[in-house]
Amino acid sequence: MAEGIKDKVAIIGMGCTKFGELWNKGAEDLMVDAFQECIEDAGIDKKDLQAAWFGVHFEEQSVGKGATSLALALKLPFIPVTRVENFCATATEAFRGACYAVASGAYDIALALGVEKLKDTGYGGLPGGPGLMGTKNALIMPKLTAPGSFAMMATRYFAVYGLSPEEGKKMLAKVSVKSHYNGSRNPKAHLRREVTEEQVLNAPIIAWPLGLFDCCGVSDGSAAAIVTRADMAKKLRPDPVYVKSLQVALSSGEELMYTKWDGAHVETGYRAGVLAYNEAGVKNPRKEISMAEVHDCFSITEAVTMEDLQFSPRGRVKDDIEAGRFNLDGEQPIQPDGGLKCFGHPIGASGLRMLYEMYKQLQGKAQMPERQLKNPKLGLTHNMGGFPAMNIVSVAIVGL
């Protein structure tokens, strides 16, 4: 295996806006807000930045094409800025660009920033649109929406593991109840109210079998990170957080067009996890990963991700969910910040928002003490973009 970037790059500053329906803020406002918190946290001067990576997915809804919007909004000092897009892993891709640039020795200090302004679309749910998947797909694909495509994974998971719709929905309800519990304790979250299992189960159906509370919110937001060479980090702040691994896997078409995939897991999720554990030297993810922020766009996504990342054995996540393993006070807290469930999913910002929570938790600085986990060592973030049958998954592991 290639050498990888374990412990070559450190995060020295992060910022994250409040997520929500931010009617009075444009994408540029959110970029400035996230960046200001980030650079103040890093304690460096803007002119110390040597390069930047900028993530945004629905560029038409947010800032337009190219990366000039970041340079202009932040008044960056004539440095290279690259815009990246990779579905829901967009922000993690921006972070990867910055980390790889620093690890290569090309730059000492780089910025990664992601933003999305979903609430300028005029309706709930993701914008989608017929052209999103390219010319040919637009002409042959069904009119899929995000909840529909993940609902198909829920249908399949129930069928493969012999859960009745009632049993399956009950399992998923517990995922959402847990995330709402955490999000209600987070001032930056969009949805800050606890929900009961009954509320989740009785909510209107969005895409069978997923109901309203099985779906994450639709929000605006931005998050940012400043990274530097590991050997410089301690000089810049006493508690930098080190990058242990950064991996991405993309579908080959096998899941969608070949008949091997069981439809009850995300193949790229498993593959990206294995790559990330190898790079980070993690042997037993269930024991070694202290906490994680995973891509819970829908409750079923979080459930299968627990299996894809080997936190739970295949087909057995129900036992772990019921045992409270992933609760804030459980053995392996998942979505301590409330997750996409409560933050919503401004696509270009989510990956960095997840890292923000891991970074703060590792530093012992989680907002509101009741959310602070005891002595976390390794935090994992996971994004899954596209559809369960055709997608990208990114996995990042950070630690002290």
Partner 1 sequence: MVGIKSYGAYIPRYRMNHNTIFGAVGFLGTFPTPGEKSVANHDEDTLSMAVAAGIDCINGLKREQIDGLFLATTSQPYMLRQNSAIVAVALDLQPTIRIADFIGSSKAGTSALVSAFDAVKGGTSSNILVCASDCRLSKPGGPQEHLYGDGAAALLLGNEGVIATLDGSYSVSYDFPDRWKTSAEEFEHAWEDRFIRDEGYAKMIPEAISGLLKKCNLNIKDFAKIIFPGIYAREHAAIIKRLGAEPGQIQDTLLDKVGDTGAASPLMMLVAALEDAKPGDKILVASFGNGSDALLFQVTENIKKVGDRRGVKKHLALKKELASYERYLAFRNLAPMDTGMRGEMSLRTPMSALFRERKAILSLCGSKCKKCGTPQYPFQRVCVNPDCGAVDQMDDYRFSDKNGVVFTYTGDNLAASIDPPAIYGFVDFEGGGRFWFDFTDCDLDSVKVGMPVEMTFRRRYLDEPTGVYGYSWKATPVRA
Residue 19 or residue 150: which is nearer to partner 1 going by CB? Answer: 150
If one asks whether residue 344 binds partner 1 (CB under 8 A), the answer comes out as no
Letters for 114-133 (x = contact with partner 1 by CB under 8 A, - = none) are: -------xxxxx--xxxx--
x/- contact string, 61-80, with partner 1 (CB under 8 A)? --------------------
Q: Which is nearer to partner 1, 126 or 352 (CB)?
A: 126
**Directed axis angle between helix 299-308 and helix 267-280, to 10°?**
50
17 Cβ neighbours under 8 A, 6+ residues apart:
30, 33, 34, 37, 188, 221, 222, 223
Nearest to 42 by CA among 70, 11, 16, 18: 11
Single residue of 289, 389, 393, 395 touching partner 1 by CB under 8 A: 389
- The reply to whether 38 belongs to the active site is no
Q: How far apart are CA 168 and CA 12, in angstroms?
A: 42
Tokens of 38: 């980030």
- Is 136 one of the binding residues for partner 1 (CB under 8 A)? yes
Residue 23 interacting with partner 1 (CB under 8 A): no
Q: How many residues bind partner 1 (CB under 8 A)?
A: 46
For 198, half-sphere exposure in the C-beta direction (CA atoms, 13 angstrom radius) is: 0
- The residues near 10 (Cβ < 8 Å, ≥ 6 apart) are 227, 228, 229, 230, 232, 233, 240, 241, 242, 243
Any catalytic annotation for residue 265?
no
Question: Which residue among 72, 106, 205, 323 contacts partner 1 (CB under 8 A)?
Answer: 205
Among 88, 99, 215, 342, the one annotated catalytic: 88
Residue 136 backbone phi and psi in degrees, to 5: -65, -45
Does 144 bind partner 1 (CB under 8 A)? Our answer is yes
Residue 106 engages partner 1 in binding (rule: CB under 8 A): no
Nearer to partner 1, 149 or 186 (CB): 149
Residues 245-274 binding partner 1 (CB under 8 A) are: 252-254, 256-260, 263
> What residues have CB less than 8 Å from 202, skipping those under 6 apart?
211
Q: Which of 57, 265, 295, 345 is catalytic?
A: 345
Whether the ω angle into residue 376 lies within 30 degrees of 0, i.e. cis, is no
**Angle, alpha carbons 112-118-119 (nearest 5°):** 135
Farthest CA pair distance, the chain = 59
Instruction: Give the contact letters, 206-235, x = binds to partner 1 (CB under 8 A), - = no.
Output: xxxxx-------------------------
Residues that bind partner 1 (CB under 8 A): 121-125, 128-131, 135-136, 138-145, 147-149, 151-156, 159, 204-210, 252-254, 256-260, 263, 389
